Structure 1
Amino acid sequence: MEVKIGVQHAPREIVLESGQSAEEVESAVADALAGKAQLLSLTDDKGRKVLVPADKIAYVEIGEPAVRRVGFGAL
Structure 2
Amino acid sequence: MDVRIGIQNSPRELGFESSQTAAEIEQAVAAALSGQSALLKLADEKGSVYVIPAAALAYVEIGSEESRRIGFVA
Fold similarity call, TM over 0.5? yes
Q: How many residues align?
A: 74
Is the counterpart of residue 62 in structure 1 residue 53 in structure 2?
Answer: no
Same amino acid, percent of matched pairs: 50
Moved over 2 A (4+): 65-71
Distance in 2 of aligned mates of 1:13 and 1:38: 20
Which residue type is aligned with residue 22 of structure 1?
A
RMSD (Å), alpha carbons: 1.3
Does structure 2 retain, via aligned residues, the 8 Å contact 1:32–1:38? yes
Do residues 43 (structure 1) and 39 (structure 2) align?
A: no
> 1:5–1:14: 8 Å Cα contact kept in structure 2?
yes
Gap runs ≥5 in structure 2 = none
Structure 1 gap segments, 5+ residues each: none
Matches within 5 A, 1:3-18: 3-18=3-18
Q: Distance in 1 between matches of 2:66 and 2:24?
A: 18
Question: C-alpha displacement at 1:74, in angstroms?
Answer: 3.2
TM-score by length of 2: 0.90
Q: Classify the secondary structure of the residue corresponding to 2:25.
A: helix
